[in-house]
Amino acid sequence: MKDPRPRILYLCWSWPHERSSGYRSRTLQVARALKTVGEVHLVVAAENNGTDAIEMAASEFRVHDYVRINGLARQGIWRRLSSLSDPLSMSFQGWVAEEQDRVRVCKNMGNFDLIWIGGTCVASLFGLQRWPRSMLDIDDVPSAKERTRWRTGSLSDRSKALVRALAFRRRERSLLEEFTALGVCSEADRQYLGGGPGIHVIPNGFKRPAVEPHRQSTQPPRLGFIGPFGYEPNLEGIRWFIRACWPRIKRDVPDVRLRLVGKGTDGPLKPVNPDVDGLGWLPDPAEEIGTWSAMIVPIRVGGGTRLKVAEALGCRCPLVSTRLGAFGYDLADGQEIFLADTPDTFANACVRAIREPAEAAARAGRAWNRYLENWTCEAIAPRVWAAAEYCLRIQ
């Protein structure tokens, strides 16, 4: 019997495993929520042959098609500037799709009631000027991400970031002309893009624990960080923390250790300090996080919201973060979180979380309640449904 519900084509970048972070975890959350609205078919964009990505996706969803993608070879400055001057260029974000795959998918889009696009990078692969019955789901607002690079980078990095920020901002101003609606991670991102009924807030979230998290303090005390070192904002943040904050913390708490979790944290990019432990990727880091006095989020570059914040909240772990690191979560310093942006204030917050565990736990408890209300998969699903229904209603 034919499914009477709307047919949804979900265009996504690669495909996540259950413990992926950031964009890929959002892909999984949104796709599962859409399954309750309609019949979801995936188009998976991936490098190489994409076999692993397709097999993972097919275990839970219908895979409609596959798009092979390639990174652009290094270009001269004039060609790069020319690409950036055209927001609809299919090489605008540095990737191109195989032409026969792109054409085939575009021809089949008319057979679906809703097109859900997982990010601006995926949208740029297809070069369409108008996407009927479409939702562009933006994990990181690109121009906002480049603006943070402009504020914190070297002179050469800042000039490149400024050019890219201006180009992305130009593209963002026309998004509601290209797509039926936009999805963003936070109200702050919604306002940055102009607000209005066509922009829907769909927060990043995390799976709700089956039981309330249990914490076990350790000696010596531990601070922890979670995130892949292949992602530049993570690596930059840890290097800043080690250079500017760690000596101050060690002065006050000499035996404290820093625990790093995530792909690449146990490799050559790991800091060489003897009191820093690189654990690499862990299939389920909740038990490890449960031993930390606090999770640190020393992020100074990037856009969107950090899923590591939701993971800390879901593990009921005290959180010390820069304001950019906690962007979009509406958590108050002194109430649910420690917020700090300078080396001295960040180090002092870490020391306080270690020395005043009852106060840190109280903040984490209040943050846990906010997490249950706003940032679990169950909490974000109704927002996905509402956004899909809006697109289906607007023709």
Query: Using CA atoms, how far apart are residues 347 and 108, in angstroms rounded to an integer?
Result: 55
pLDDT attached to residue 108: 93
Q: Do 310 and 286 contact (CB within 8 A), yes or no?
A: no
The answer, yes or no, to whether residue 88 has pLDDT greater than 50, is: yes
Cα–Cα dist 348/338, whole Å: 10
Does residue 91 share a domain with residue 192? yes
Q: What average pLDDT does range 194-199 have in this prediction?
A: 93
Cβ-based neighbours of 387, under 8 Å, separated by 6 or more: 135, 181, 183, 200, 202
Highest mean pLDDT, choosing among 83-97, 247-261, 303-317, 323-337: 247-261
Note whether 245 and 363 are same-domain residues: yes
pLDDT tens figures, 211-234:
888 888 899 999 999 999 988 889
Residue 127 has pLDDT above 50, yes or no: yes
Residues 382 and 351 in one domain: no
Residue 146 or 264, more confident: 264
φ and ψ at 289, to 5 degrees?
Answer: -60, -30
Cα 176 to Cα 196: distance, rounded to the nearest angstrom = 10
Strands 7-13 and 114-117: parallel
DSSP H or E run through 138: none
Q: Which amino acid is at 333?
A: D
Q: What residues pair up with 259 in beta bridges, in sequence order?
A: 224, 277
Q: What is the pLDDT of residues 326-372, one digit of tens each?
A: 998 989 999 999 999 999 999 999 999 999 999 999 999 999 999 99
Is pLDDT at 272 greater than 70 in this prediction? yes
Residue 371 amino acid letter: Y
Residue 79: phi and psi, rounded to 5, are -70, -40
Residues 344 and 388 in one domain: no
Asked if residue 246 and residue 304 are part of one domain, the reply reads: yes
Query: Which strands make up the sheet holding 114-117, listed edge to edge?
Result: 95-97, 62-71, 39-46, 7-13, 114-117, 131-137, 179-184, 199-201
Tell me the residue type at 281: W
Angle, CA 323 vertex, CA 321 and CA 328 arms, to 5°: 105
Separation between Cα atoms, residue 291 and residue 222, nearest integer Å: 7
Which residues share a beta bridge with 69? Answer: 97
- Let me know if residue 212 belongs to a domain: no
CB 318 within 8 Å of CB 364: yes
Residue 211 lies in a domain: no
- Angle between helix 357-374 and 343-355 (nearest 10): 100
Q: For the whole model, what pTM was predicted?
A: 0.82
Beta bridge partner(s), residue 71: 95
Question: Is there a single domain that holds both residue 230 and residue 170?
Answer: no
The tally of domains found in the chain comes to 2
**Which H, E and C letters describe 351-381, residue by residue?**
HHHHHCHHHHHHHHHHHHHHHHHHCEHHHHH
DSSP state of 224: E
Neighbours of 79 (CB within 10 A): 12
Q: Using 50, 70 and 90 to split pLDDT, how confident is the model at 301?
A: confident
**Nearest residue to 142 via CA among 94, 79, 104:** 94
Domain identity same for 197 and 260: no
Neighbours of 230 (CB within 10 A): 12
Within 67-215, residue ranges assigned H as helices are 77-84, 99-108, 120-124, 142-152, 155-173, 175-178, 187-192
CA 131 to chain centre: 24
- Please state whether beta strands 95-97 and 62-71 pair in parallel, antiparallel, or not at all (unpaired): antiparallel
How many angstroms separate the CA atoms of 387 and 181, rounded? 8
Task: Please give the mean pLDDT across all residues of the chain.
Answer: 87
In a domain, 111, yes or no: yes
Measured CA to CA, the distance from residue 386 to residue 395 in angstroms comes to: 16
Residues 329, 388 within the same domain = no
Angle at 312 (CA atoms; ends 275, 44), nearest 5 degrees: 105
Residue 130 is assigned to a structural domain of this protein? yes
- Tokens representing residue 363 in the block: 């903040």
Does one domain contain both 91 and 34? yes
Q: What is the mean pLDDT of residues 239-251?
A: 97
181 and 118 co-located in one domain: yes
Q: What is the pLDDT of residues 53-71, one digit of tens each?
A: 777 778 888 889 889 888 6
pLDDT at 241 over 60: yes
Q: Are residues 137 and 253 in the same domain?
A: no
**Bridge-partner residues for 294, per DSSP?**
223
In a domain? residue 214: no
The domain of 168 spans: 7-205+377-393
CATH number at residue 310: 3.40.50.2000
